[in-house]
A = this chain, B = another copy of it.
Amino acid sequence: MTKLVVDNDSKSGAEPKRRYKPGKIRDHNFQIILQAAEQEFALHGYRGASTQKIADRAGIPKANIHYYFSSKNKLYLAVLDNIVHLWNDYLDEVRVEDDPAVVLDAFIRKKVELAYTHPLSSKLFAMEIIQGAPHLKDYIRTEMRAWVRTKASVIEQWIDEGRMKKVDPYYLIFLIWSSTQHYADFETQILTVMNRAEYEREMIDDVADFLSRMILSGCGLTPPKRKKRSAPGSQ
């Protein structure tokens, strides 16, 4: 996948494994800064976030941010790069031979899971898009468009073979994206309306069940059989 950050230093901070040189401290600081930056950018947007606050959160002097990442903009790109990779490394090959119900169900569940485990990534990505995707337009026009086109063509073949109801595949993908990401991005609204302090495993599973049933039903499909939920760590 294309890197958003062109980095002649051979690494852009996304890799958990170091390429060459031990540099344990360097890698550690890289990660610490990226993590702090993700939080600040997600909380205040690109312009609203300050390198000072990021440095404070990371527990290092502000100047070190500029030592590791030459500018605020490069740091932001590195964070986005991390996010885009995290999101896309999942569920990549879908084949026409697969069962549409199994594929869609897994897709929805994986997205709900990501919304639960990585809400900050989702929020930051959402802010970037809402603001007109100034740093991600190229990525959307090339890789994301191709990704959607591929999945859409598989869905169309399923429809042609009469294996699911005729629905617009693009709108279907957007529906899955929106309904799942919503639980990350609008977390505050949802929890406040439901009068809860935070998400719990059980609620997340309920949401996944609900969305899978709803959307699959709209496609004329029935959710695949699943193991009953039991003790955590099963499955």
With an 8 A cutoff between CB atoms, is A43 at the interface? Answer: yes
Would B193 and A148 count as touching, CB distance under 8 A?
A: yes
Compute how far the CA of A123 lies from the CA of B38 in the bound complex, rounded to whole angstroms: 20
With an 8 A cutoff between CB atoms, is A144 at the interface? Answer: yes
Would B193 and A131 count as touching, CB distance under 8 A?
A: no
Give a binary string over A29-57; 1 marks a CB under 8 Å from any B CB, 0 the rest.
Answer: 00000000000001111111100000000
Interface range on chain A (Cβ under 8 Å from partner): 35 or more
Compute how far the CA of A45 lies from the CA of B189 in the bound complex, rounded to whole angstroms: 17
| Total copies of this chain within the assembly | 2
Residues on B with C-beta less than 8 A from A178 are: 178-179, 181-182, 186
Residues on B with C-beta less than 8 A from A170 are: 193-194
Give a binary string over A110-138; 1 marks a CB under 8 Å from any B CB, 0 the rest.
Answer: 00000000000001001101111100010
Would A188 and B218 count as touching, CB distance under 8 A?
A: no
- Name the contact of A185 in the complex, choosing from B129, B190, B210 (C-beta under 8 A): B129
Query: Considering the complex, which residues of chain A in the window 167-215 have a beta carbon less than 8 Å from any beta carbon of chain B?
Result: 167-168, 170-171, 174-175, 177-179, 181-183, 185-186, 188-190, 192-195, 206-207, 210-211, 213-215
Give a binary string over A139-165; 1 marks a CB under 8 Å from any B CB, 0 the rest.
Answer: 011001100100000000000000000
Would A168 and B131 count as touching, CB distance under 8 A?
A: no
The distance from the CB of A110 to the nearest CB of chain B, in whole angstroms, is 17
| Apart from the given pairs A47-B47, A174-B186, 15 other A-B contacts in the complex at a CB distance below 8 Å | A43-B132, A44-B45, A129-B185, A130-B188, A132-B188, A133-B188, A133-B189, A133-B192, A144-B192, A144-B193, A168-B206, A170-B193, A170-B194, A174-B190, A178-B182
A residues in contact (CB < 8 Å) with B:
42-49, 123, 126-127, 129-133, 137, 140-141, 144-145, 148, 167-168, 170-171, 174-175, 177-179, 181-183, 185-186, 188-190, 192-195, 206-207, 210-211, 213-215, 217-218
